[in-house]
Amino acid sequence: MNRIDNWFKKRKLKPIPIFIALIALIILLFIIILVANYQTDHDDKVTMKEDAELRTGPNAVYPEIYPAEKGETFKQLDKKGKWIYVSTKDGKEKGWIAGWHTDLNIEPDSNPNAKPLKNKVIVLDPGHGGGDQGASSSTHFKSLEKNYTLKTGQELKKLLEQEGAKVKMTRDKDEYVKLKDRNLSGDAFISLHNDALKSPDANGVTVYWFKKQQEGLAEALSMSIQKKAVLSPKGARQENYQVLRQSKIPAVLIELGYISNPTDEMMIRDELHRHIVEQAIVDGLRTYFSN
């Protein structure tokens, strides 16, 4: 103790009473425990490095239940292969997420079919535009078809590019493009529209094809949209539309709900609902190009 007393005397300081030193030590221990806990809490934190989705099971075939955005964090609960079982921070949503979309340093599946859309050229054709407004709603929203076909096209483009696809748009702004000028080449052509009828009761999604070689794509997209069952699915039907008649590639025209039906209109206007339908189109394309 003498040496310590001398050390304090030399510096003209009062020696620290033992009990204060003890309290300081206890506080220090407490802080160390807190920090250690904080680190274990954060060890099971998973951060999204790109947009993806939570699914009901550990495989891409399971339905999507929650869209996870780049930067969003989750709590890891379990792991199966390359899939992580997570919950949202508030614990309200739980689901499986592919590990390669997260910061966990997991390699994507080496399955060549994992990216069936890679380098595929997808033509997106947002219907109408400019002076051609397309169909419109009769609610106070006065929604115009031309605006929602363009929004869907732009959102779908982003999703397809995440899958490695190359996307061509027949229009990417509010302009009028003649039907004959929408005939772009690629691996698949998707014309986007909204239906309308005088009766506000008509509702649902219809996927149209015209040539026999277009039917497979229409069925794949219709099946995929049906699985999500957001808008009531009306199946794949044959119709002699010019954009289908003139196309030399697998081409479909999708009527994404009735803008004249107030419920469909709400879904057409709602970004989250659009995202679900767009993801269904991506899934349908993945299935189509996997076969």
Does residue 58 interact with Zn ion by CB under 5 A?
A: no
Does residue 127 interact with Zn ion by CB under 5 A?
A: yes
Measured from the CB atom, the residue of 258 and 289 that comes closer to Zn ion is 258
Contacts (Cβ under 8 Å, ≥6 apart) of 153: 124, 125, 126, 169, 171, 172, 192
Residues touching Zn ion, count (CB under 5 A): 3
Residues in the chain: 291
Cβ 242 to Zn ion shortest distance, Å: 12
Residue 93 near residue 65 (C-beta atoms within 8 A): yes
Site string for Zn ion, 176-205 (x = CB under 5 A): -----------------x------------
Measured from the CB atom, the residue of 86 and 207 that comes closer to Zn ion is 207
Measured from the CB atom, the residue of 44 and 175 that comes closer to Zn ion is 175
Residue 101 near residue 48 (C-beta atoms within 8 A): yes
What residues between 103 and 122 interact with Zn ion by CB under 5 A? Answer: none
Cβ 84 to Zn ion shortest distance, Å: 41
Q: For the packed helices 262-269 and 271-290, what is the interaxial angle rounded to 10 degrees?
A: 80
- H helices of 88-182, in order, are 145-162
Site string for Zn ion, 61-80 (x = CB under 5 A): --------------------
| Closest residue to Zn ion, based on beta-carbon distance | 193
Tokens of 250: 């697998």
Cβ 48 to Zn ion shortest distance, Å: 35
Q: Which residue from 186, 185, 206 is spatially nearest to 253, judged by alpha carbons?
A: 206
Contacts (Cβ under 8 Å, ≥6 apart) of 67: 51, 53, 54, 272, 275, 279
Cβ 128 to Zn ion shortest distance, Å: 6
Measured from the CB atom, the residue of 191 and 279 that comes closer to Zn ion is 191
Cα separation, 109 vs 223, whole angstroms: 25
Tokens of 127: 């219907």
Q: Sheet containing 121-126: which strands, arranged edge to edge?
A: 166-169, 121-126, 188-195, 251-258, 205-209, 233-238
Does residue 126 interact with Zn ion by CB under 5 A?
A: no
Q: Which stretch binds Zn ion (CB under 5 A): 5-13, 37-45, 132-140, 264-272?
A: 132-140
Measured from the CB atom, the residue of 116 and 134 that comes closer to Zn ion is 134
Site string for Zn ion, 205-224 (x = CB under 5 A): --------------------
Measured from the CB atom, the residue of 74 and 241 that comes closer to Zn ion is 241
Does residue 134 interact with Zn ion by CB under 5 A?
A: yes
Cβ 241 to Zn ion shortest distance, Å: 10
Measured from the CB atom, the residue of 99 and 127 that comes closer to Zn ion is 127
Q: Kindly state the DSSP code that residue 143 receives in the 8-state scheme.
A: -
Cα separation, 259 vs 264, whole angstroms: 6
Q: Contact residues for Zn ion (CB under 5 A)?
A: 127, 134, 193
